[in-house]
Structure 1
Amino acid sequence: MSVRHTIFQFTRRPFVRNVLAVAGGTAVAQGITMAFSPIVTRLYGPEAYGIQGVFMSVAGILGTVAAMNYPIAIVLPKSEAEAFGLARLSIYIGIGMSMLAAALLFLYGSELLDLLNAGKIAAFIYLIPVFMLVSVVNRVASQWLIRKKAFALTARIAIWQALLINSAKAGLGFAYPAAIALIVMNILNGLLGTAMALFGWRMSRAIQPVAAKVLDPPSNAWTLAKNHRDFPLYRTPQELLNTFSHSLPVMMLATCFGPSKVGFFSIASGVLALPAGLIGTSVMQVFYPRINEAIHRGEDAKGLIVKATLGLALSGALPFLVVIAAGPMLFGLVFGAEWETAGVYAQWLSLWLFFQYINKPAVSAIPALGLQRGLLVYELFSTGTKVLALYLGYVVFKSDVAAIALFSGFGVVAYAWLILWVIVHSGKPLLKSIADTV
């Protein structure tokens, strides 16, 4: 009874309840997508999916940075007018960046695609600016819901998006199973998420009283851009570096060891990242407004970060330990004996991904603590050490497993340092100095 009572009380906590709401919605959405996958993949085939993958690899990164990461700042201000001003600023920048991208693609589209080895998407090149703008608007809507702590609404949106978009993909696949259909569905997915977020926010009784405050005159756009300039100056290049560093193993394995090793890595990292991303991303969405609120109120930010980090460590220790102990056997059993090497990769990657999993509270606190310049410096050193690790694995040890092991080991050290750095800098004296400079 005591254990059951303890679990019940734990799940009744607002933070845990919100995490479970977001994670539950994400899990159901992923389940829907997986259920449709056998149908959709058979309808469209590998070539259509390959072209979609190339398109998303180019447009996805551009969409992420199209608003120079100003949408992330929407959660931070105390003032509703300032938050609304940041949302508007983000959309303005997104429009400008999308128009700039359209002009560059019109003038130099073929050359740019050749440079990126993405000539297969030449027929869909002008959908890239459209995707960028839709991504910006969708990100603004998502950050607004995070600011409003509308986590139940976020979960419902994820489920309905997965159901409607996958149904549309399947239905369209019977009539026109082409790559353009998949690409358009990705764009419509962002529009659908934005529309549902706006409709749900306006219809929610809990949030309606706040809407009137948004009508207050927002701050000047230039002033907002200047006050939150750390997002374009530091967070945007940091995200680009982070994306590059995550693609390093694939690039190295493909160049040095062949496509089969890329397959092993893709399976290993994909399987491990799925459950870790499910909980970790949910924690980030819930913890970001919570830590920001704590800093505004002068609460113990350091204690919150430590507790959340330890909670994630306890929740993730057993699954990751199982993979570390029996990775090759598990992968061989589930995927077949030829995939045991992927299990060896998974053993080493588990160490790295475990620390990536538990660093979510620290990463969530960085914007609120004003540490984004330090995060960029960290990312530079982290990416550099990962390049060094892969180089040593290939040149010195001439082993793909050694390269993955070194990559993971360097990543563990980097993530551990990041967590400790944020915790050390989350003390009240620092918070006061930040407040004085804003």
Structure 2
Amino acid sequence: MKYKNYGNLKKRLMINKLKPKSEFNRNILTLMSGTTIAQAIPIAISPILTRIYTPNDFGVLALFLAITSIFASIANGRYELAIMLPKKDEDAINIFALGFIINCFISLLLLILVVIFNNYFTKLLGNNEISFWLYFVPITVFIVGLFNILNYFNTRKKNYKDIKNATILKSIVLAIAQLSLGFIKSGVSGLILGNIISNGFANIKLAKNILKNKRLILKIKLVKIIILAKKYKDFPKYNLISDLSNTLTLQIPFFVIPKVFNITVSGYFFFAQKMISIPSLLIANSISQVFFEKISENNKNNIKNMPIFLNILKKLLMLSLPMSIFIYLFSPTIFEIIFGKEWRISGEISQYLAIIFFFTFIVSTLSITLVSYNKLKFLAIWQYLYLFSSIVFFFLVYYLELEFNIFLEYYVLHQVVLYLIYFFIIFLVVYKMDESIS
């Protein structure tokens, strides 16, 4: 019996040694484990989806997501970022309420505009199939906006297990909806409805943590909301327009590519970008979320952030380089084998995107630093530069009627240059802020 107990004790000690010792690393691992499971599900069903849905369907989905992403990025007036900053939960819940009110207003306004100007928007987008789905834009924006404020509030309370479970639930529902609806009816319906339904289920999971705290909800007061709206006015003043411009920049390809080339090419590009973004969703977002919580805490306690900044940078470099090389070398073959011969084109596009991935994986993860320091002006300057340069770039692509391969080469060059500038701004801010700490 003694030997048996000793053996069990030894096993427990070995398991404990394998567990991350710091709370920071444990939180990253918790979110990463949830995101890994969540992303494993769509990866697993992707070979089926590419045989149920056509590149044209994915092109229409890309257009729908581009529209909703743009408006969802400003759905809460960017006040969701301020939820992390106050010391008191009472202030945080009132900021949450402020974001919710703004979300309701923007979603209602979108509904009115879609009902009145549906035909005009359809002609502007140049795709008749999107006409029906424009009516689903307001509800999608509302659901995504609600998820953003719920996610940040749960991050503030360090409910990382609940965030993990919500992410997994969202992925499961998405898979079930897209597969079942795809078998029932051909076309893009299953892809779009699956996204809407899955986001709704994730919200229900995260909302429970707030709804069960009735005492905190009762502290929501209109006067308090107005005071906090003024206190954190820099978020809508500087970050709203800048983030809108950033999101618009990221979605421009899905508006321009169908016009310069066609909606099918847009579908190939979208699917390639979707697959390339999986490592970021698996790893980078989790690191960024916990990194934000850690540096926000350091700022409150007047602790320097350069050591943890460099530590995260080193980890991101070690992760992004081998992944980028692997994608560049093997993506065409992998896409053809897993998704079918038709999708080798997406694999070839992925080779170009792999170069962009190396830089965006690192810089996007670290960019939350500017929010934590409330250096929104610097963030806005870069985002405006990013938008302006992208508009000029895509205008030239449209005007010169470039071949698709030439377009991809210049697209990579443009993205790399802009993200190198972004990294320099972030590093400079951390360095200057650390210098100010005595």
- Structure 1's 147 and 245: CA in aligned 2 closer, same or farther, altered over 3 A? same
Which amino acid in structure 1 is aligned with residue 116 of structure 2? L
| 8 Å Cα contact 1:59-1:131 kept in structure 2 | yes
**One-letter code aligned to 2:373:** L
Alignment match of 2:140 (pick from 131, 145, 166): 131
Structure 2: stretches of 5+ with no match in the other structure: 1-13
Higher RCO (CA 8 Å, separation ≥ 6 residues)? 2
8 Å contact 2:285–2:365 — kept in the other structure? Answer: no
CA distance in 1, matches of 2:51, 2:206: 32
Aligned AA (2:367) = V
Q: Would you say 1:375 and 2:384 are equivalent positions?
A: no
Task: Indicate whether 1:148 and 2:157 are aligned.
Answer: yes
Give per-residue Cα distances to partners, 1:261-284, cap 9 Å, x unaligned.
546544543332222332111112
Q: Deviations over 1:136-179 (max 9, x none)?
A: 22222111111112112111112223224543555566777786
Structure 1 CA distance, aligned partners of 2:386 and 2:31? 30
Matching of residues 275-354 of structure 1 within 5 Å: 275-324=279-328, 345-354=349-358
Q: Separation in 2 of the partners of 1:84 and 1:158?
A: 22
Contact 2:328 2:352 survives alignment (8 Å): yes
Match of 1:86 in 2: 95
Q: Does 1:16 align with 2:16?
A: no
Could you tell me which amino acid in structure 2 is paired with residue 68 of structure 1?
G
Alignment partner of 1:21: what SS?
Answer: helix
Cα shift readout 1:285-324 (whole Å, capped 9, x = no counterpart): 2211111111111111222222212211112211212334
Q: Which moved more, 1:15-24 or 1:54-63?
A: 54-63
Note if contact 2:75-2:145 (Cα within 8 Å) is conserved in structure 1. yes
Report the counterpart of residue 75 of structure 1 in structure 2. Answer: 84
Once the 2 structures are TM-superposed, how far is the Cα of residue 51 of structure 1 from its aligned partner? 5.9
The worse-fitting range, judged by mean Cα deviation, of 394-403 and 373-382 is: 394-403
Partner of 2:108: 99
Query: Which stretch has the larger CA shift, 388-397 or 225-234?
Result: 388-397
Q: TM-score, normalising length from structure 1?
A: 0.80
Q: Is the CA contact (8 Å cut-off) linking 1:308 and 1:361 kept in structure 2?
A: no
In the superposition, the TM-score normalised over structure 2's length comes to 0.80
Q: Which residue, 230, 233, 237 being the options, matches 2:237?
A: 233
Shift of 1:244: 2.9
2:388 to 384, 387, 390: 384
1:207-222 pair list within 5 angstroms: 212=215, 215-216=218-219, 220-222=224-226
Q: Does 1:194 align with 2:203?
A: yes
- What letter corresponds to residue 323 of structure 1 in structure 2? I
Report whether the alignment pairs 1:418 with 2:427: no
Cα separation, partners in 2 of 1:396 and 1:161, compared to 1, 3 Å: closer
* Aligned-residue offset at 1:72: 2.2
Q: CA–CA distance in 1 between the matches of 2:341 and 2:61? A: 30
Structure 1 residues 159, 330: CA separation in 2 closer, same or farther (over 3 Å shift)? closer
The yes-or-no answer on 1:110 pairing with 2:119 is yes
Cα distance between partner residues in 2 of 1:346 and 1:179:
23
User: CA 1:346–1:221 in 2, change beyond 3 Å: closer, same or farther?
Assistant: same
Partner of residue 33, structure 1 = 42
Residue 270 to residue 100, structure 1, CA distance change in 2 (3 Å): closer
Indicate conservation of the 8 Å contact 2:331/2:351, yes or no.
yes
Gaps of at least 5 residues in structure 1 are 434-438
For the Cα contact (< 8 Å) 1:74–1:143, is it kept in 2?
Answer: yes
Q: Number of residues paired by the alignment?
A: 422
Alignment of 1:175-190 (within 5 A): 183-190=192-199
Q: Does 141-150 or 95-104 show the bigger shift?
A: 95-104
